[in-house]
Amino acid sequence: MSFSNQRLLLTQNSSKIIEELKKKNLILSLAIRKSQTVIEENEKLRKALAFKEDKKIEMTGVEIVSFNPSIWRRLAIINAGKDKGLREGMFAVDSDGFLVGKLIDVKNNFSRLMLIDDPEFSLAVYVGNDALGLLSGGLDVIKIQYIDISDNLKLNDIVWFKIPFISYPIYVGRVRKINENKNGLFLDVNVQLFSQNPLIKKIFIIK
Amino acid sequence: MTEKNVKALMVLLIFFLLDSTKPFAYSLITEFTFLGVVLICFNYPLKTSLFFAVIFGYFKDAISADAASFNLLEFSAVTVAIHYCLRNFHGKAAKILIFCGALATHIIINNLRTSKAAYLFSLLFFIQSSIVFLLISRLFGQWLYGGLKENNVI
């Protein structure tokens, strides 16, 4: 075999080896990406477990499988219903224990969840120590209405609420802006949510 | 069903899936199904557009669990209105105005429906939907006709 033929064979072999290595590299990077996702999932579950054990709250982990196709509503469909003991009015929290929304429609094996920023969402909440108001969702801003003007609210005060049978507060967000209402009797408070719901897939329903 | 109609069906199905799964979460403020219905109106005759508008309006109502067939009615009305305008007004500027009119109608209807005026959200919806429509209109035109057709809005 001549020198040029030998060289050609060697080059062909090298390109085959390079091709094989590229494939292996791709498989390995996919495996790394998969394990990173598993690690993130694991971390979220650990946080949720810590929250559950710390507060002694009974919760069920569920997943968001679909959203309402309209961008004007913030409704999600979750993969659990009456089969897992869910009922209308139950609250959903993320892995950090921050409020995400509440169940509005429970079927046998799926349910509809209204997220906090849905325009029809409303909930009685506390701000700071004991100021009581009505949180209402919205696409532009999430507001708390009917806060008495005599309540001394400050920026960054915590917004929270209580579920009657649970002795711990569930946190919603913090005060971002305080405006005086047009009629001068109440304050309008803008809220910054703790839970960044758009990226949530795994959530927990408080039973 | 002709090849052209199958393409329309596929596009609308993909758009409906995008709306239902929201891979861009709520960071992209647009409704692909609505834009798809408008896109079909600009490229297909009334009968075909109305057929798809009714089907996808019904799908949207079914998944939203709306008691009233709100989307079915809205999509059908928008389709008929767009075709009426396209028959009476011609030229690129008219098409752009028709598209903007359809978008504005959708915004007003949804603001009334939620009974809360979301001004900033509506503005973002208008801007982002226009940009997305520009992109899908170009891509769909190329797929449908193998190049740009004068019927394309932008």
The predicted-structure confidence for A166-188, as pLDDT tens digits, reads as follows 778 889 999 998 887 777 778 88
**B32 in any annotated domain:** yes
CB contact under 8 A, A139 and B118: yes
Alpha-carbon distance B150 to nearest alpha carbon in chain A (angstroms): 31
Q: Give the per-residue pLDDT at A198.
A: 54
Task: Tokens for B111, please give them.
Answer: 């603001």
CATH of the domain at B23: 1.10.1760
Chain CA centroid to CA B20, Å: 15
Answer whether residue B133 shows pLDDT above 90. yes
Q: Give the per-residue pLDDT at B150.
A: 52
* CB contacts, 8 Å: B65 with chain A: 105, 112
Kindly tell me the burial class for residue A133, based on how many C-beta atoms sit within 10 Å of its own C-beta (0-12, 13-18, 19 or more).
Answer: buried
Mean pLDDT over each residue of chain A, to the nearest integer: 84
Where do the domains of chain A lie? Answer: 1-56, 59-207
Answer whether residue A157 shows pLDDT above 80. yes
Alpha-carbon distance A142 to nearest alpha carbon in chain B (angstroms): 11
Interface check for A196 against chain B (CB to CB < 8 A): the answer is no
Alpha-carbon distance A198 to nearest alpha carbon in chain B (angstroms): 5
3-state secondary structure of A68: coil
Q: For domain A59-207, give the fold.
A: Thrombin, subunit H (2.40.10)
Mean pLDDT over each residue of chain B, to the nearest integer: 88
CB contact under 8 A, B20 and A67: yes
What is the complex's ipTM, to 2 decimals?
Answer: 0.85
Give the pLDDT band (50/70/90) at residue A131: confident
Q: Give the tens place of pLDDT for each residue, B32-84.
A: 999 999 999 999 999 999 999 999 999 988 887 666 778 899 999 999 999 99
CB contact under 8 A, B25 and A72: no
Number of domains in chain B: 1
Q: Please give the helix or strand (H or E) that residue A205 lies within, else none.
A: strand A202-206
Enter the pTM of the model: 0.79
Alpha-carbon distance B87 to nearest alpha carbon in chain A (angstroms): 29
Give the pLDDT band (50/70/90) at residue B3: confident
**Letter string b/e over residues A26-61, b meaning 16 or more CB atoms within 10 A of that residue's CB:** eeeeeeeeeeeeeeeeeebeeebeebbeeeebebbb
Answer whether residue B146 shows pLDDT above 70. no
- Residue B31: which of A71, A138, A199 has the nearest Cβ? A71
Task: Tokens for A157, please give them.
Answer: 């005060």
- Pairing of β A158-162 and β A142-148: unpaired
Answer whether residue A141 shows pLDDT above 80. yes
**B150 in any annotated domain:** no
Report how many Cβ contacts below 8 Å link chain A to chain B.
Answer: 61
* CB contacts, 8 Å: A139 with chain B: 114, 116, 118, 121
CB contact under 8 A, B116 and A138: yes
CB contact under 8 A, A66 and B20: yes
- Residue B120: which of A120, A140, A198 has the nearest Cβ? A140
CB A203 within 8 A of CB A92: yes
Q: Give the per-residue pLDDT at B18.
A: 92
Q: Which of A67, A71, A114 would you mutate first to test chain B, the one with the most B CBs within 10 A?
A: A71
CB contact under 8 A, A139 and B21: no
Q: What is the mean pLDDT of residues B115-125?
A: 90
Q: In this structure, what are the phi and psi dihedrals at residue A171, rounded to the nearest 5 degrees? A: -85, 140
Interface check for A63 against chain B (CB to CB < 8 A): the answer is no
> For residues B87 and B84, what is the distance between their CA atoms, to the nearest angstrom?
5
> Residue B27 sits in which domain range?
3-145
